[in-house]
Structure 1
């Protein structure tokens, strides 16, 4: 009986090994390091704890037109991170802009000189003149009058640290500022799409001498349109982004949702009613027009995981000369001590300090060269120029995938 009881007690004794889920919570740094650095004898590649390769992004999906009471909307899912974006367009009258009269007088005084310079320069092509003028208008109108107003919210219960109804967190304000800065630096939205023009009728005495009405309309269109046209109002785009599920890398998901929503945005046909002195919009859906965006800048985020980084599971010890020599020998033997992880999830973000964000676009709709719109590296100094160039190549491939996903919806 005693032997049977002892054997039963031994069989009921708990095992000393920990399941992977508990090991990941108790020693997260060692858990991720064990996945990224398998034993050399196994000849296995580095695999992250989530099963992805270091340069592999999570599965991305997009759906546009999900919100019915907006001018454009999109839902983008990047793994378990989901962002919902809605674009609302409102009219801003020029008479409500305090600095509008000052800007008009400045433009009128400088416009003849600029126009004369552009027309008399033989090295300037017609398309270059239009693009230069358009870029100047974007700088002066979209930024000065705040025609693009992004706002990102994390107070949706998307993660345990973000309580519904709480005031905007520091992360939410930072992401909103990053989106606004990227909208301005990439000049994604054209100023011409946000202007509401008014063409006054030409009632000069020379018009009464013209007997052909069609001919007179042609003369007015070719000679007097640009002279008499004036801007009566602007469209202001309120870009609201809500993160409904947060599992790491919120900026890439939010920016992809902004891109998809702007590609889906339609503005109604609007004109100035002289009798009522107000802007009137057409209810016909067929007359609404889409935004003509400038390119497709795609964001790709990375983080750097260091094997020797200080973490909670071991103390920070300054190595002596022998230890430094051993580290140098291991580096020469090809033992990897750090990894650059693409599209980090929430678990990996908590174990890294250095972050890299690369925003690229391609000329001529993907057939031209890759253009770097933004390259930001914060929190460390381990990634060198060679590795940054490799990340640009990975971001260019990511651009192809995102364009294919958005083209299937828009």
Structure 2
């Protein structure tokens, strides 16, 4: 008799399980949504894939004075995004400005017109407005602030050697220049080099008789008036920023580096040499002076993550009573679920279509009220007035953190 054949147990197919890193690459939107919207039965808080709360910023550090061949420098790291900024000061003689004589003539005409006004208060108000307009004109029209941002090779996978300047670098350079002008961070008077012409007075006539000379002086002595000061040159600040590591939100890191570098900038003592008709600078470091900046505008960026793009990602299970009630209330309101993420990293930026950036400052060195210097929002309609108020409060708390950090560096 033939031996009975042994029965082979059917093979069980392996379970289809993926590690979190593979799941994040294959389904990035569903992966982030799984963290932000956990099942109600799990009692887990809404947390991002990187472990941060939606309103939490990454760890930030700053170090000033890192570069030796600059007038001011700083290195700022926000998470894995790092930016280096160096400020170089160069002289711009007024003789090299083609429109300088024309602008000076128009300015003197305005001053003579103000001198003819009858009311002193109106004259003072117009003089203040004229000084503010002159400061703005000198900074913007003469291009005294020249920022330039570059993305170093290897800061992110997409930046290869020999590639032309990217659109991102040009956009960030323009944003920094626009914010420097709108906040009026640098004072024009810190960049001016003045010259006071000496008052030589009238030529003394030859003395023949002392009594005769005294009578003539009494009748013809002119009033001694000092000559007005002249601007002989300007300091031009070249603000070079390099992103050495790009892991999301480069603007906040670049602007923080610019702030720290300008706070560290020292300009040497300069004066006009009449004999040589040129500008001379002192080699003594103790004579150098720091810039007197207007406040401390801090930028905070946000990204909006919407859940509708990954609708149906979760398996179809029968919801419990509480989850069904929450879904019904949401369906009645007709609103889509979304999260506003502070300081988005590179992974979250690729999943956010709506962006917001708020620049705030505080009066009286942080003890006064919060002032909104700039507010931008683009890419969607999720952020409304109520959300903007919340973002301003978050930005104000971020300002306190940045102020403490920059004071220590």
TM-score, normalization: structure 2?
A: 0.85
Q: 1:118 to 1:96 in 2, by over 3 A?
A: farther
1:160 equivalent in alignment to 2:160 = no
Superposition pairs of residues 34-45 of structure 1, within 5 angstroms: 34-45=34-45
For residues 371 and 247 of structure 1, the distance between their equivalents in structure 2, rounded to whole angstroms, comes to 29
Superposition pairs of residues 64-83 of structure 1, within 5 angstroms: 64-83=64-83
Q: Is the 8 A contact 2:114 2:123 kept in 1?
A: no
Spell out, residue by residue over 1:40-76, the C-alpha distance to the aligned partner (whole angstroms, 9 max, x if none): 1122211000000000000000000000000000000
For residues 186 and 255 of structure 1, the distance between their equivalents in structure 2, rounded to whole angstroms, comes to 12
- 1:391 corresponding residue in structure 2: 391
Superposition pairs of residues 310-325 of structure 1, within 5 angstroms: none
Shift of 1:106: 1.0
Q: What secondary structure does 1:152 align onto?
A: strand
Q: 1:340 to 1:102 in 2, by over 3 A?
A: same
Q: 1:43 to 1:268 in 2, by over 3 A?
A: same
For residues 136 and 145 of structure 2, the distance between their equivalents in structure 1, rounded to whole angstroms, comes to 12
- 1:204 corresponding residue in structure 2: 201
Q: Is the 8 A contact 2:62 2:74 kept in 1?
A: yes
Q: 1:347 to 1:130 in 2, by over 3 A?
A: farther
Unmatched tracts of structure 1, length 5 or more? 209-221, 315-325
Q: What secondary structure does 1:228 align onto?
A: coil
- 2:144 corresponding residue in structure 1: 147
Shift of 1:271: 0.4
Shift of 1:135: 2.3
Unmatched tracts of structure 2, length 5 or more? 206-223, 315-325
TM-score, normalization: structure 1?
A: 0.85
- 1:321 corresponding residue in structure 2: none
- 2:288 corresponding residue in structure 1: 288
- Alpha-carbon RMSD across the aligned residues, in angstroms, is 2.9
Shift of 1:233: 0.4
Q: What secondary structure does 1:309 align onto?
A: helix
Q: 1:33 to 1:110 in 2, by over 3 A?
A: same
- 1:347 corresponding residue in structure 2: 347
For residues 331 and 118 of structure 2, the distance between their equivalents in structure 1, rounded to whole angstroms, comes to 58
Q: Is the 8 A contact 2:145 2:238 kept in 1?
A: yes
- 1:318 corresponding residue in structure 2: none
Q: 1:123 to 1:273 in 2, by over 3 A?
A: closer
Q: 1:170 to 1:5 in 2, by over 3 A?
A: farther
Spell out, residue by residue over 1:93-135, the C-alpha distance to the aligned partner (whole angstroms, 9 max, x if none): 00111111111111111123346669701796xxx88864542
Q: 1:56 to 1:332 in 2, by over 3 A?
A: farther
For residues 372 and 230 of structure 2, the distance between their equivalents in structure 1, rounded to whole angstroms, comes to 36
Larger radius of gyration: 2
Q: What secondary structure does 1:405 align onto?
A: helix
